[in-house]
Chains A and B, each alone.
Chain A
Amino acid sequence: MNRNNFIPHLALALVLILVAAFAGQLRKWQKQWRSSISIVPSASKTRQPVDEKEILREDFKRGEADILVRFRPGVTEAAIKQITARLNDEVEDQIEAVSGLESIDDLDDDVDAAVAEYRALPEVEYAEKNYQIELDHAGGGFKHLHPEDPRFVDQWALANDGQNGGKEGADINAMRAWSETTGSDEVVVAVLDSGVDYNHEDLANNIWSRRANLDPYEDADLGVVDDEHGYNAVDNDGDPFDENGHGTHCAGIIGAEGGNSIGVTGVNWKVRIMPLKFMNAGGFGTTKDAIEAINYAIARKRDGVNVRVINASWGSTQRSRALEDVIRKANDEGILFVAASGNSSTNNDRQPHYPSSYNLPNVVSVAALDRNDQLAQFSNYGVRSVHIAAPGKDILSTWLGNDYEEHSGTSMATPVVAGVAALILSQKPNLAVEELRERLLKAVDPVPALKGKIQSGGRIDAARAVGIE
């Protein structure tokens, strides 16, 4: 090297090193800032006045690691590296607490395509976009998560900002709850109904599937049933596809996939919906078929499937001892049974409605509210026998054939509560059924219109249910 050029070259090299070091520090500071705001600030945990809601709104944006991928058991680290390299990606970090879970950088910068590529691989259990929460204001306040789903604005039950003449804040406080948990695919909620459209674009990723090492269901009378996604007690087979729409609607309220830029979001962004079909295309079915389907859920629980909640958006005024017995058996297996209080505008303390009126330790009876925090005109009530209320009028959710519809009924309020139960279980998977029920009934916002009408006197509050006061 020419001696005359040495000093300028040395100076240039020093400058470059300093610039690189400063950039690295900047990146570190940036990461620290982002991680610091992903924790609920302790400064303000009380609900903010309505007019502050707007300035405290948070957006849900993509983070630095682009994708979270959970590989199936047995897929080695070497294999994971090969897969990511083949897809022009890089493993950013291994999430040790969850076996097989990796955060991955997508070097092509097409995250949606990358997620789809991973989901298509047999080695992958699930793949999802990584999101990051960013405060769009300076200062403190509690967190909200705002999903990208385009129809979320119409889901007043989850976030009521007064749309369509509703009362601001008359919702289940879902956005705040989601800052703690958006659900877990380890929690299975059985939707005991008219089946579920398990191919629906907004449900497919949250549908339960029988794992490869679990034998098909075997019944002494029916023989072997190939229960890939659940059970059909109407036709006694393993295909619980919905021919009515009611079950698909309930399933979407519990767990339409959240944050996927499609349709609506469920109370749980991720969960496992187990479709159990006992009602036909008309939306009605027999007590015996309901019992058969509950029996299936219990059998699968005993086989190790984590069925913790059954949603029962149906009923009649006829009491069945056999139905009561099988729901009691579900209690023995640690399964919560959330049931519609009925739509006759009557008092269940005087005219019971079953199964919601069974006095069993795992039964939660649900009344319906409208968007103004009034007991829905059709809803049954009962200060002794109806336990809790939830939004149930003009509820938008999934419908047959990738469609979305608004419907009303205690049918729609029930899956809101079942969904919140699943959110709780995503945090506390080992909670006993009586503790789960108690936690639900304590997690209410008092509503004046419900005083003296239902036992808890309030509307379910998802944020309280997951521990945010």
Chain B
Amino acid sequence: MALTKQDAIEHARKDLAKRLNIDVDEIHESVEDAEFPDMALGAATRGEMSGQMITSGWRIRLSAGRQNFEYRANKNQVRLYNYKGKNYTVD
């Protein structure tokens, strides 16, 4: 089923809370519409290939304490971008 912007934000917050082992209420967010360079939202994981079509979505910036994180999402997927040097898809 297609994700809404709010769905994507919730997925991202839950994912980060789990990774940092903190409560979701401790996470702050800012979201902007964005265009990504490809269909993996410019955040391909290892061994992954993606369609080279400009893709609309949302850039979700989350912060917890002094740390900042970037999630990228569209109606099909949510990805964590450049987390400790790697990209991740969020289930």
Contacts and interface: CB of A to CB of B under 8 A. Distances in A.
B91 interface: no
A283 B53 contact: yes
Contact of A282 (B37, B39, B47): B39
Given A284-B39, A378-B37, A313 B48 contact: no
B40 interface: yes
B90 to A, nearest CB: 12
Contact of A411 (B42, B44, B51, B76): B51
Contact of B44 (A284, A290, A378): A284
Contacts of B47: 286-288, 318, 320
A193 interface: yes
Given A283-B39, A287-B47, A344-B37, A411 B77 contact: no
A284 B52 contact: no
Contacts of A410: 52
B46 interface: yes
Interface string B46-58: 1111111111000
Contacts of B50: 279, 283-285, 314-316
A246 interface: yes
Interface residues of A, number: 35
B54 A284 contact: no
A286 B54 contact: no
B70 interface: no
Nearest to A281: B76
B15 interface: no
Contact of B51 (A286, A314, A320, A344): A314
B48 to A, nearest CB: 6
Contact of A284 (B37, B40, B46): B40
B4 to A, nearest CB: 16
B48 A283 contact: no
A379 B48 CA distance: 20
Given A316-B40, A318-B46, A284 B53 contact: no
B48 A343 contact: no
A193 B55 CA distance: 16
B40 A408 contact: no
Contacts of A443: none
Contacts of B37: 342-344, 378
A279 B38 CA distance: 13
Given A285-B50, A313-B52, 12 more contacts: A283-B53, A284-B40, A284-B44, A285-B49, A286-B48, A287-B49, A314-B51, A318-B46, A318-B47, A408-B53, A409-B53, A414-B52
Interface of B: 37-40, 42, 44, 46-55, 76-77
Interface of A: 193-194, 244, 246, 249, 278-279, 281-288, 290, 313-318, 320, 340, 342-344, 378, 407-412, 414
